Each structure stands twice: as structure tokens, then as C-alpha cells.
Amino acid sequence: MEKKLGFTLLETLISVLLFSFIAVMMSGVFGTFLKNYIEARIMLQGVDGTQFAMNLMAKTIRTGEVKYTVGSNTLFLYDRAQKKCMEYIYVPASSKMQVDISTTSNEGSVDRCTFASMGGAQDITQSNMITNASFIVVPSTPSSMGIVTLALTVSSPGQRTSPVQVQMTVSLRNNTMY
């Protein structure tokens, strides 16, 4: 009698079970990788938008005179290049940074600006991912240049990793130069 070559039913079932187990494990690994990739892309977009806003702020702060009240979400400044009063505002309700530019030219100093007459704030961040903002201001004196440190915390809704803090320090020009 000839022996028939092939697999038994038990061997086939075991191999199908092993293949299914490996396929389920691989799909779980791939799903986790995909979730992490999507979360990283969202965070990268938030950080890019935040850096754009900070660069925009730095450009005007560098040529301006700054006024800041400790504990406030607002940075007031007089931009000497544009001869305009401006305020940068962190709005916790919308998780965005905004800029409000005075429609009138108040020449000279940030102390002459009337911020109550501002025309309406514009968003300078695209996403609503900023969860905190802080400003540290060291004003200029006749003998030294001041600095402004901006720190914005970026976090997406449902984020599983820790928030990202983006920080920038801007040197102020000396007041006696103008």
C-alpha cells in the first residue's frame, strides 16, 4: 500500500491558528504605529503654526517698546517700524494667539497707546492647540537692551504624550536708539 503525502486535519488547523495569531499581533502593532504617526503629524502642524506665530511676534517685538503686566495673557507694544500700537493676546477659550492692531497712529511710546480703541483681534495661529502662554519681559534701559521671552505650550485634544513647549527669546533694541 502506498503512503499518501499531505497534511492531516490537525496539522492544518494548528497552522491556520498560528497564522491567525501572528496576523492579529501584526495588525495591532501596525494600528498602534498608525495612531502614533497621526498624533505626531497633528503635533507637528501645531508646532509649525506656533513657530510661525512666534516669528511674526518676534519681528514686531524686536523693533518695539514693550509693556507687560505680570500674570496677564496680553503683551502690549508700540511698533516703531509701523508706528502702530499692538497687543498680542492669548485667548484660553479658543486656545489661540491673537493680535490686535490700533487703527490710529499713537506716535512715540507704548504708554501713549489707547488699547481700548483697538479694532478687533485677528488670529495668528491656525490651530486651537495652544494650552498656555507666558511672557517674560526685561525692559530696555539706557545702558542695556531688554529681552522678551515668549513660551507657548502646544497640545492636541486627546493627546497621550506630554505637551510640547515652544520658546523664543527676542532682544529689544535700546530705547535711546530712536
As a whole number of angstroms, the distance between CA 50 and CA 128 comes to: 10
pLDDT digits (tens, 9 = 90+) for 124-137: 887 788 888 888 88
Listed residue (93, 95, 60) closest to 75, CA to CA: 60
For residue 130, the cross-strand partners are 154
Q: What number is the average pLDDT over the span 43-56?
A: 90
* pLDDT of residue 176 exceeding 50: no
- 97 or 142, greater pLDDT: 97
Q: Which grid cell is 154? A: 502646544
pTM: 0.73
Residue ranges of domains in the chain: 11-177
Query: Quick one: pLDDT band at residue 169, thresholds 50, 70, 90?
Result: very high
Q: How far is residue 38's CA from residue 93's CA, in Å, rounded to a whole number?
A: 25
